[in-house]
Structure 1
Amino acid sequence: MPDRASAPRVAAIVGPYASGKTSLLESLLLATEAIHRKGTIQDHNTVGDSSPEARDREMGVEVNLAETTYLGGQWTFLDCPGSVEFMQDTYNALTVCDVAVVVCEPDPARAVMLTPLLKFLDSRAIPHMIFINKIETTETHLRDMIEALQMVSTKPLVAREIPIREDGKVVGYLDLVSERAYRYKPGEASDLISIPEDLKDRHVNERQELLENLADYDDALLEGLLSDVVPPKGAVYDSLARDLAEDLVVPVFFGGALADNGIRRLLKALRHESPTLEETRARLGIEGKGPVIQVFKTQHAEHMGKLSLARLWNGTLKDGQALNGDRATGLFSFPAGQQAKVDSVGAGAVVGIGKLEKLSTGALVGGDSAADDPPVLGPLFALALHARKQGDDVKLTGALAKLCEEDPSLRVENNPDTAELLLWGQGDIHLQIAVRRLARQFHVEVEAHRPQVPYKETIRKATSRQGRFKRQTGGHGQFGDVHLDIKPLSRGEGFVFTDSITGGVVPRQYIPAVEQGIREFLPRGPLGFPVVDVGVTLTDGSYHVVDSSEQAFKSAAQLAMREGMPACEPVLLEPILRVEISVPTDATSRAQRALTTRRGQILGYTPKEGWSGWDVVEGYLPQSEMHDLITDLRSATMGVGTFAWSFDHLQEVIGKQADEVVTARKLVLAG
């Protein structure tokens, strides 16, 4: 087996919100003597969740880094956000780790919360182990928890330990590989004890189950089991390390981060069984002779400027070294979460690199990789923003560009129909954090509110109108005269202009001005919204040899449209989205109700491909009803429900609802 302390390794700590990831990081750093006193979420003094926004919310909102050493090996732990609204950072961090520690609570009913995360890990063959946290606070049987987790994992779970209970509480563990029992000793290494009598039969049975799981991928081990030969413990450890590196099995540990229980057992598993840098490079297909870096996070600090967090896959990186046309201006390590300047770093390390202006999150420099880029999460929730201070618009635009560089799941849109600047993200908290960062990091105060819906309007009947523009102001006057036929078109045809002029009643050089005048009228029809699916034909007109001009014919066309459109029975159109809602099967009916109570139309539902126990509900949904859909879906599914959407068509709105929309629009336009 390779020397597993030969190069720095990276472990991502991931898991659902409130599972205890940040507390686990504190315990890991204390056990490795990187810190000498643990912080707490309540006291706002943990190494993880260090930003003001994270401490205000008492939840992770971005990835946090902390370096330490254990048994001769250098480790970087990436403490990743648990909220689904900040999963982009988690996915980006997982692309550069050697192993992931998936943290969860000992509640079988909450196992479904791990589904999207485990799917991501398995889809990319990222080695991972599970740490069931808060074990001392539950009476749940470990077997029940593992069975619930197995339902949401495509890889076989292998229990590495058996809990030792006294008076209903977990006080220690029996290791199934070393066949040794230990009693927890808060803040210290566990005490070695004799195997309790009541666990001896269970120990034999569960160890046999562990070996059989490993034998599925190890012919030598299988042959020994068939011959009733007890395998050497070293062979079992080697088999575990190989299977973990290839993401064939998922080892399961348990403990309690708050009391430091099971932490050293987890550290030993990481030290002796996690993949090495060489194994991770092989898994990702990374090649390159010089320094090869991969950026997984971008930060913008007020006084430092841009800082790129990256993993150095190969070679040595020195301060001032050229990278892809940029120059590394400042290198930083992160001992116990603190930023420290260094002169150089070696392969395997995580490093902060200053002023790489040309590199964005996800960039790979100096080599090639066979791995796919991390997915960019689609937009689910939007707020309309405007700067509080007059003159801050340009500053706001630049600040938003930097926020989107830090978090690719944020997206900025200038909506041409509503003239609003929209910030899209993963949910309300996600965007509220972004708004706060605009103020704290970039000193741009903004007002944020629910976006307007990009309604349109069209017409139901045809009409003909004359537009005659005549003005005498001394000298040359202005004269233009047009006759227009206005008619509705089929949905989706847009605007079509034609002319049937004969005999030169409107000179050819003025006809484009007529079309331009009509086009300038269309953004605000009689109901106050952009007009679509309208055909206009110029049929007749007249001109004056001296006083006619392009401007006069443009104005004449607008007069004809202004008078004619109200007679065409204008009607409001609302945008209809096609949505695909992904939820666990037991929430399918709730997802369907979420559509129907929002005036949606259900098209059907099918099992989600590759996701056992999940469905996809397809339907149409008015865009005006989309704003809080993601909030309701997450409430109904413990945070894991989501949806994808795209614009599908425009649909007529009549009656009271249309009247309310038009009235509100008039108020907006008036003031």
Structure 2
Amino acid sequence: MTQTETNIRLAVGEEACKPVLFINKVDRLIKELKLSPKEVNERLTAIALEVNRLIREVAPFKDWKVSFDDGTIAIGSAKHGWGFTKDILVRKKVSPNVVFEKYSQGDEAWLRKNLPLDEALLEMVIRHLPDPATAQKYKIPRIWEGDVESEVGKALLSMDPNGPLLGMITKIFIHPKSKRPILIGRVFSGTLEAGRNVWLAWAKRPGRVQRLGVMEITDILDVPKIPAGNLFAIYGFVCPAGETIMEEGANLPPFKEIKYVAEPVVSIAIQPENPQYIDKLEKAVRLWTAADPTASFRIDKESGEYILSGIDPLQLEILYKRINEMVKIKVSEPIIVYREVPTRRGIEIHTKSNNGHNRVKLYIEPLEPEVIELIRTGKISQDQDSRERAKIIHDVAGWETRFARNIWQIHGTNILIDDTKGAQRLDRIKTYLQTIFIDYCNGATLAREPLMNAKVVLTDATVHVDPAHTGYTEILSMMISALHISFLTSEPKLYEPILRIDIRTPEGTEGTVAGILNRRRGLIRNMMREAGVVKIQGEIPAAETKGLADELRSATQGKAFWGYEPAGFKPLPEKMQLEKIMEIRKRKGLPEAIPTPKDFERNIYPSGRWTGKV
């Protein structure tokens, strides 16, 4: 239920999507757990009660719920292609016990033919989900940044086809044969037309609608225009899901960015089997990571490998198989991605460039939890108006307004701030400093793992008057040295990704399952009995999940169900810190010794020596 809970919280609670429920994998209850009809009914009833409890906690309307009796719950097996609602059984005069009979006979084909899953799902959508004209009235205030009392707001609320164009890309579909990306979304106001340019609000660039239509399975059925309230399919450009489209030249408030509750914690390295295909690999990786916003990639500048990151090994397995269809690749074993975190304020360090003509002074300290939460929830972002962002941070975290306005860069949950006063020609090297900061966030000092929850504050800078002496290499030498030194004096720690785990196991096996979790540094939060099974909820480090599936299956004769959900990061136990840092450094081919401030002393201003006191 961990992922179900997250989906309900985001879809129902935050975006006001009215719910219907499909309970999947009923085949496992019958074939693997060998539950009786009464026991299956008890299990399904318990699931429905729990889902309704979650809906009640977040739903904008009190009457929103799901029920077997009104046809808003379907049950079935996606694997075997069957499903039904109570209404379908009544209409077809079929007893639910027929499912048990057909599985005992091994006749899943009968179920797929007579109780097709698509019929059950489509019927729930048609009968129970609101039409766009009804839903937009309560959804727009939740998903749109603008004033609903404005002319644009009124056009959105009324779904006006003659209003200003505003639409949202909600999914990127990659055609299974051609591998062409198709953007799927909805028009909320105005009319979208084929052959026209649109403006991508978040990307701040235009895109041309070469083909426009609606999807029929994997194909686009071309239409010349699509008015407000309808879904669309576009071919012609690529952008991430959540992008707002509007008329080119318009300056309208965009839809709020789609929030994802997870960040990548597992990585693999991929390389083309044929080195000449590196450009093809980059194209394929960019395409598939655009289609899955919870995945990301970067190029390791030292090895030349593409580092593909995701929320779990299964996601990465799916991605690299899809990439491999476009270009043959070599893949490393999955690697857990840790985070490097400052735990107190580091020293304010003054460094100089290699040529001695430029200087920078800065310190690193932990970013306030309130600001971290603002970033995670999307309430502040890199592209936001600086005044608006500063006001939010001032109101929530108490930062001085001038200080908050001078944010230069937000990358992950890290912030770079210009707090210099009277520094001349600093704008000349601003983009260099931003680039170096971003690179450092992608790989910090201890083991080149990503930086997390850090505030980097520039307090002084000297920039040479002659641009010939302010090249990137010179700026890099002083900036990276300052970052390393201040971070190393901030008592940095390695943080590990934690997963929330939800296990349902037969009664009598819960002790063994609990023992498995305890041996793997797991933490059990809750244990309860329901309908012949024991539900175990807890947390487990992502690094401890390797081989867990096989161990759980063996301990429960394959009868346990479980699911994961990212639960953030926690400090790696102190006794494991050094060993893990050394292990990661060895894997990455880094020097065995962990850097110290003395390693960067030649760039310390003015002395060029590290004494431990600056």
TM-score, normalised with respect to structure 1: 0.42
More strand, by proportion: 1
Q: Which has the larger Rg?
A: 1
More helix, by proportion? 2
Instruction: Give TM-score scaled by structure 2 length.
Output: 0.45
